[in-house]
Amino acid sequence: MSKFDKNTLGNNLIKVDGKIIFKLQEVLDKKGTTKYALSRKTNIRYNTICNYCKGNVTLINVEYLKIFCNILECDIDDIIEFKLNEKK
């Protein structure tokens, strides 16, 4: 859960009924590489890459996304996706 979900900061952000889906693990699998190899090539901490693979990311680092795309030769939408929740 994001710190913004509870509106604890007194901000006036609108509530969006959707989620960010991280697909980094899928890209790694398609490319035949590992989190460890990506960590070595990028100098990004292994635990950080694990968090992106599991979707345990609160603040997205745009520089990391650019590095992932460059090293893995993929597009941003291969790594991250936004989906609105279906209305009932």
* pLDDT tens readout for residues 5-61: 554 555 788 888 899 999 999 999 999 999 999 999 999 999 999 999 999 998 999
**pLDDT score for 12:** 81
Quick one: DSSP state of residue 30?
Answer: H
Residue 2's SS3 state is coil
Q: Is residue 18 within 8 Å of 84, Cβ to Cβ?
A: yes
Within a domain: residue 12?
Answer: no
Judge whether 7 lies within some domain. Answer: no
Task: Judge whether 8 lies within some domain.
Answer: no
Model pTM? 0.80
Q: Which of 40, 5, 24 is nearest to 78 (CA)?
A: 24
Give the CATH number of the domain where residue 42 resides. 1.10.260
| Torsions phi, psi for 19 (to 5 deg) | -145, 155
Is residue 69 included in any domain, yes or no? yes
Could you tell me the residue range of the domain that residue 53 belongs to? 20-74
3-state class (DSSP) for residue 10: coil
Flag whether 43 is in a domain.
Answer: yes
State yes or no: pLDDT of 88 exceeds 60.
yes
The reply to whether 48 falls in a domain is yes
Say whether pLDDT at 75 is over 80. Answer: yes
> Count of domains in the chain?
1
